[in-house]
Structure formats: structure tokens, C-alpha cells
């Protein structure tokens, strides 16, 4: 009797599939958007929502102007942490709206 392989996580399977069909960048964009709450924390995640990722720009909707100003001060740090989560310099800038 042969040993059964343990099941793979869906995330690792999707990464392999995306790589094979040439959609690595789209998958990395998805990973970045999914990492938003983990990177910025629950408090900021409650007042923001990621809209889209396009041409290295991450567009984030902010619920009030005070938070928008605060996040603009933290933009570089958040960008660095998101790029670290993805594994390379995917995000050039974050545009808070």
C-alpha cells in the first residue's frame, strides 16, 4: 500500500496554475489585495477598502479625510510592507481616495 500525499492548499495550487498559464502578475496583484488587512491591521482595514491595482498603483478608498491624511503620511511604510508580503516591488505607490 502506498502512502497518500497530503492535500495541498488551494493557494499553492493557484500559484502554480497561474505561473504555468502566464498570469503571475495577476496572481501577485490578488495576493497584494488579500494581504491588505494583515499588513495595515484591523483598525485601518475597517476604514478602507482596496478598489483595484493597475500599473503598479494600488487604489484604496478611505472613508474619511482624517484617515486619508494619516494614511498618506504612512504611505511609504505600507507600500514597503505590502511589497514584502508579495516578495518583490510590485506596488510603486498607493493612491488614497
Where residue 59 falls among pLDDT bands split at 50, 70, 90? very high
Pairing outcome for strands 93-96 and 48-54 = unpaired
The Cα 26–Cα 29 span in angstroms is 5
CATH of the domain at 54: 3.30.300
Across 67-73, average pLDDT: 95
Structural domain that includes position 32: 10-96
Where residue 62 falls among pLDDT bands split at 50, 70, 90? very high
Query: CA nearest 71: which of 53, 50, 54?
Result: 50
Across 30-49, average pLDDT: 88
Q: How many CB atoms lie within 10 A of CB 68?
A: 16
Q: Give residues with Cβ within 8 angstroms of 47, minimum separation 6.
A: 62, 63, 64, 67
Across 15-42, average pLDDT: 77
- Does 1 have pLDDT greater than 60? no
Domain count, the chain: 1
Please report the pLDDT score of residue 18 as a whole number: 67
65 within a domain of the structure (yes/no): yes
Amino acid at each position: 500500500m502506498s502512502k497518500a500525499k497530503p492535500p495541498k492548499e488551494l493557494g499553492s495550487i493557484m500559484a502554480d496554475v497561474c505561473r504555468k498559464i502566464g498570469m503571475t502578475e495577476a496572481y501577485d496583484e490578488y495576493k497584494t489585495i488579500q494581504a491588505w488587512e494583515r499588513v495595515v491591521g484591523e483598525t485601518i482595514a475597517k476604514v478602507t477598502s482596496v478598489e483595484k491595482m493597475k500599473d503598479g498603483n494600488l487604489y484604496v478608498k478611505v472613508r474619511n479625510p482624517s484617515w486619508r491624511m494619516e494614511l498618506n503620511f504612512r504611505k511609504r511604510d505600507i507600500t514597503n510592507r505590502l511589497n514584502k508580503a508579495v516578495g518583490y516591488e510590485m506596488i510603486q505607490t498607493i493612491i488614497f481616495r
